[in-house]
Structure 1
Amino acid sequence: MPADGFTTCLWFDGQAEEAAHYYVSVFKNSELGRISRYTQAGPGPADSVLTVEFVANGQKFVALNGGPQFKFDEAISFQIDCADQDEVDFYWNKLIEGGGEAGPCGWLKDKFGLSWQVVPAKLIDMVMDPDPEKASRATQAMLKMGKLDVAALEKAYAGE
């Protein structure tokens, strides 16, 4: 595991190892790291998984089996910048399969309840365009979508 930068800790209730394997399977440039287990000292059952280190898309994470006290919510999300519609479709479909939930404007929750924004990189440029009418058209189109449609966004941005 790389030693520099930040490591994001994700709190799970017994699914840390499953989640780490899942995220490593979804993203390129990913790998599993060390797995630590509870000892006789607890507080979890001895030999059950405490943490799993992993890298997903080059980012460091640790999945922690901390218990039921905390749940994910939309206050934290991970944005996936996608090169094209194929990437949008891939990540959107992969992350909602198995119990995930589609949301508005490119947002979704995966089967563990973690929030993601699946965004074509072009959209950021469109909504930040110095021409307020182009930016507004792109924003209005985005606000009507669940999974983002790159062609429809481009048409709205162009005024078509």
Structure 2
Amino acid sequence: MQYQAETVDDYIDQIPEERQGPVQKFREIFQKNLPAGFEEGILYKMIGFYVPHSLYPDGYHCNPKDPLPFVNIASQKNFIALYHSGIYAKKELYDWFVAEYPKHCKYKLDMGKSCVRFKKIDDIPYQLIEELAGKMTPQEWIEIYETAIKKK
């Protein structure tokens, strides 16, 4: 589902009522636990946390006018999605997350390359998400991103 929101609060107001609390909790977790330097806003019609142009002037290679995306939170048709670029780009972080997930949630991990899908909103592993949020600085994300882009 895509929402036409100008602000994060506007986005949250537009999603189904039963998802507003969980999405707000995700937002608060990332606001409190991401290392300094990331910024929050609407990016790709979702809640986004990104490296601003002030830290990474090159921006996102697909559209340099956009800041470098890192985490997005979205209310999709059948689930809440957490898109975390660090999980996709850093194998050690991916391995850690996959190993830790069953310790925090009774349901099977439903995950794509960078997308974790939460269909059971009453059993979201918020403590694990808090840990994940603090595991990568903007500087580390830039280094990983540039290494991957320069390979192409």
Higher helix residue share: 2
TM-score, normalization: structure 1? 0.28
Higher strand residue share: 1
TM-score, normalization: structure 2? 0.29
Which structure has the greater CA radius of gyration?
Answer: 1
